[in-house]
Amino acid sequence: MRLSILLLFIVLASTKGFSQKASWTKLLNEKDLTGWDTYLGPSYDTVQNTWDHTPLGLNADPLKVFSIVTIDGHAALRVSGQRFGGISTQQAFKNYHLRLEFKWGETKSHPKKNSKRDSGLLYHAVGAHGADFGFWMRSQEFQLQEGDCGDYWGVAGGSFEVAAMKDSADYVYNPKGKLLLFNEKSPQGRHCIKNPDAEKPSGEWNVVELYCYGSTAVHIMNGKVVMVLQQSSQLDDGKSTPLQEGKIQLQSEGAEVYYRNVEIQAIHKIPAGLLK
């Protein structure tokens, strides 16, 4: 009798998903860029101090800004940063847990040769390539920049509500703060600073995790929640509509950066412990 009950429980658990988790899917095959599109915008003339206004466009990468290399004994995506743009999944995603590792390289390029190393994880990316200043899709940004990893930027109309408090001239994520709207038209602007700072020193690998479910997102750096974002939306001519799914885009923004172990799994909710 006891054995029969145990077998029945195992069957119920497997059929109802009580003990099973969705499997991880690798987004990079570690051999080539199959499943991804590249887009490169205008170049920056360091002599004339102007943009040339002529994008290289979709899947045109003569400079090999995006390539698969071997570093630290492991295959990784190298983004040279030589030209502003992005590499995006051809598939759109919703309700997922995304996980990747990244570390900064050595090279920096104009117009950010003398600036912090910069890149970014753009999610819920929709619409035309180059919508943001000629380089990136409309999206929500998980900022990846030296010292600023985990910040939020609304890109080309992306919009989120975040609990935040103002610190000097900037708004900083604080779970005890007032829920504020961040987009390019709001009084707060389109940028909110992460809290705490959980990035490792430049040259070390960082683990980035992103949870998206419905209209909510959670930014995690090296195992620490650095921001919870709510009511994901987008602006069109001043009108707000939901933005809850889209492609994933990694930025090229003047700095050499490496990405590896880029993988995703479907979720049915965000773990409650992450939303506190």
The candidate with the shortest Cα–Cα distance to 194, out of 148, 229, 155, 231, is 148
Q: What is the CATH number of the domain that holds 206?
A: 2.60.120.560
Please indicate, yes or no, if residue 4 is contained in any of the structural domains. no
Global pTM value: 0.90
Please indicate, yes or no, if residue 146 is contained in any of the structural domains. yes
∠ Cα 173 157 193 (to 5°): 15
Please indicate, yes or no, if residue 189 is contained in any of the structural domains. yes
Torsion angle of the four alpha carbons 207, 72, 201, 218, in this order, in degrees rounded to the nearest 10: -10
Q: Would you state the structure tokens that stand for residue 79, as one six-digit string? A: 């983004």
Q: Which residues pair with 252 in a beta bridge?
A: 85
* pLDDT tens digits in sequence order for the chain, 276 residues long: 444 434 433 333 333 333 346 799 999 998 999 999 999 999 876 656 667 778 999 999 999 999 999 999 999 999 999 999 999 999 999 999 999 999 999 999 989 999 999 999 999 999 999 999 999 999 999 999 999 999 999 999 999 999 999 988 899 999 999 999 999 999 999 999 999 999 999 999 999 999 999 999 999 999 999 999 999 999 998 899 999 999 999 999 999 999 999 999 999 999 999 997
State the Cα–Cα distance between residues 106 and 203, nearest whole angstrom. 8
State the Cα–Cα distance between residues 15 and 23, nearest whole angstrom. 16
State the Cα–Cα distance between residues 63 and 82, nearest whole angstrom. 8
Please indicate, yes or no, if residue 38 is contained in any of the structural domains. yes
Q: What is the chain's alpha carbon radius of gyration, rounded to the nearest angstrom? A: 20
Residues 179-203 have pLDDT tens digits of: 999 999 999 999 999 999 999 999 9
196 cis-preceded (ω within 30 degrees of 0): yes
Please indicate, yes or no, if residue 6 is contained in any of the structural domains. no
Domain tally, the chain = 1
The candidate with the shortest Cα–Cα distance to 161, out of 190, 125, 137, is 190
Please indicate, yes or no, if residue 208 is contained in any of the structural domains. yes
pLDDT for residue 21: 61
- Kind and range of the H or E run holding 92: none
- Structural domain that includes position 109: 25-268
Tell the residue number behind the tokens 């900037």, with chain if given: 170
Query: β-pairing, 96-108 with 118-126?
Result: unpaired
pLDDT for residue 170: 94
pLDDT for residue 30: 87
DSSP 230-250: EEEEEEETTEEEE---BEEEE
* Cα separations in angstroms, 42 against 25, 112, 134: 33, 15, 7
7: left (phi over 0), alpha (psi -120 to 50) or beta: alpha
Q: How many angstroms separate the most distant Cα atoms in the chain?
A: 84
Please indicate, yes or no, if residue 8 is contained in any of the structural domains. no
Residues 19-42 have pLDDT tens digits of: 346 799 999 998 999 999 999 999
Please indicate, yes or no, if residue 262 is contained in any of the structural domains. yes
3-state SS assignment for residue 104? strand
Judge contact between 22 and 265, C-beta under 8 A.
yes
pLDDT for residue 48: 60
Judge contact between 74 and 103, C-beta under 8 A.
no
pLDDT for residue 62: 95
